[in-house]
Amino acid sequence: MLLKVKNRDDNRRQRIGHNSFGYAGFTFFMLAATFLSVSGRSSAQAPTTQNPPASVAPQNTDPQTPNTVFSDSPRPRPGLNIVVLDPAHGGTDTGARGTGGIRESEIVLQFALQVRRALESQGFQVIQTRMANENPSFDDRSAMANAQVGAVFVSLHVSSTGLPGTVRVYVNSDLPPASGGREASGLIPWDRAQAPFLFLSHKLGDFVQGNLAVRFRGSPGSSQAAAIRQLRTTAAPAIAVEISSVAVNDRLDLDRMAPGVADAIARGVTDFRPSYVVAGVPGGLR
């Protein structure tokens, strides 16, 4: 079922403006600029909205100069700039639960705050799929990443099992090509949106896992493949980071891991940044 498709032309248009600037707003201001140019009115006389978006450039008062919208707007650098951070579970879904009352949904939210700070210190814009004890659906979380350009998706988990004090990175298992040539038309089926990004996801996963293995002895040296529901519908390089585990006797054991996990993820994503622009990979460039 084709629930949602990504159109690369749309993405290119979005790249012109600010990432958070909506397509509807972009279209409105483009139309307004066209109207003003045609009518020859100066921008200073143009009617403005009460709350213009921050990304709109200062109005051009020189009638000799072409009126350029977004001329001074902060254009995003090409490539990877955004990390969509996903503290898994939440709401009524507590995820893994330890005998000591440790809940995965609470731990990952705390980890997310530290990971966010570490990523922002590396210059990334961070978008979280949830900020409180709520539970967006798998598709809602994926949609937050799929709406971005130049983004990666990092889902945070705490396991029930595994050697305590270790961290594993997972990427989605292989997804077979879609039948019917849908991808040839530039449309990506929602239910297998991750397929074109698997190559980049593995690279990202290996970079992050390599940094984690240095900090947490006993962790694997490379990322592993698993059929993770959350990653399948994500149209971006996507990984799941799973920390072991809720079975620890003292919650402080997990809390002590947070700075190392945050630093390793931030460094891993930074290391991956040059690899994000890989020609010839379907979906690698948007």
Partner 1 sequence: MNTRWVAMILGGLFGAVIIAGLYFPILKQRVKQTAKIQPQSEEQARRELTQSLTANPTEARVNAKLFWASNVHDSSLTPVTVELPLSNEPVLRAKQVLNTLLAGPAGPELRTLPPDAVLLAFYLLPDGTGIADFSEAMASSIPSGIESEQRAVDSMTRTLAANVPGITRLKILIHGQEVETLAGHLDLTGSFVVSPRAAQAVIAPQIDPLASSAIPFTPLTPMSASRQTYAATPEPSTNSRKP
- By the rule CB under 8 A, 217 interacts with partner 1: no
Q: Toward partner 1, which CB reaches closer, 113 or 225?
A: 225
Are 84 and 150 in contact by the 8 Å Cβ rule? The answer is no
Q: Which stretch binds partner 1 (CB under 8 A): 26-34, 77-85, 113-121, 175-183?
A: 175-183
In the region spanning residues 154 to 173, those forming contacts with partner 1, defined by CB under 8 A, are 157-164, 168, 170, 172-173
Query: Binding mask 231-270 vs partner 1 (x if CB under 8 A, - otherwise)?
Result: -x-------x-x-xx-------------------------
Rounded least distance, CB 83 to partner 1, Å: 18
DSSP summary character for residue 90: B
What would the two tokens of residue 42 be? 């100066």
- For residue 146, which of 282, 275, 10 has the smallest C-alpha distance? 10
> In angstroms, how far is the first alpha carbon of the chain from the final one?
23
Strand-pairing partners, residue 97, are: 103
Q: What is the closest distance, in whole angstroms, from the C-beta atom of residue 115 to partner 1 in the complex?
A: 18
105-164 binders of partner 1 (CB under 8 A): 138, 157-164
276 near partner 1 (CB under 8 A):
no
Taking the C-alpha atoms of residue 227 and residue 233, their distance in angstroms, rounded to an integer, is 11
Nearest CB to partner 1, comparing residues 20 and 224: 224
- At 89 the three-state DSSP class reads coil
Please list every residue from 186 through 205 that binds partner 1, using CB under 8 A: 191-192, 198-199, 202-203
Nearest alpha-carbon partner for 239 in 262, 265, 219, 261: 265
Indicate the DSSP class of residue 52. Answer: -
Spatial contact of 138 and 229, defined as CB atoms under 8 Å apart: yes
Q: Does 90 bind partner 1 (CB under 8 A)?
A: no
Residue recorded with tokens 């994503």: 269
Out of 50, 65, 229, 280, point to the residue binding partner 1 (CB under 8 A). Answer: 229
- Give the residue with the Cβ less far from partner 1, 9 or 174: 174
Best CA proximity match to 127, nearest among 185, 175, 85? 85
**Position among 25, 220, 260, 284 found at the interface with partner 1 (CB under 8 A):** 220
What does the block give as tokens for 163? 């050697």
> Is the four-CA dihedral 256, 113, 215, 122 of positive or negative sign?
negative
Spatial CA neighbour of 127 closest among 100, 148, 106 = 148
Q: Which is nearer to partner 1, 138 or 259 (CB)?
A: 138
Query: CB of 84: closest distance to partner 1 in angstroms?
Result: 18
Burial (Cβ within 10 Å: 0-12, 13-18, ≥19) of residue 175: middle
| Interface residue with partner 1, options 222, 249, 256, 274 (CB under 8 A) | 222
Mark 16-55 with x for binding to partner 1 (rule: CB under 8 A) and - for no binding: ----------------------------------------
Binding footprint of partner 1 on the chain (CB under 8 A): 88-89, 93, 95-97, 104, 138, 157-164, 168, 170, 172-176, 179, 191-192, 198-199, 202-203, 206-207, 209-210, 213, 220-222, 224-230, 232, 240, 242, 244-245, 275
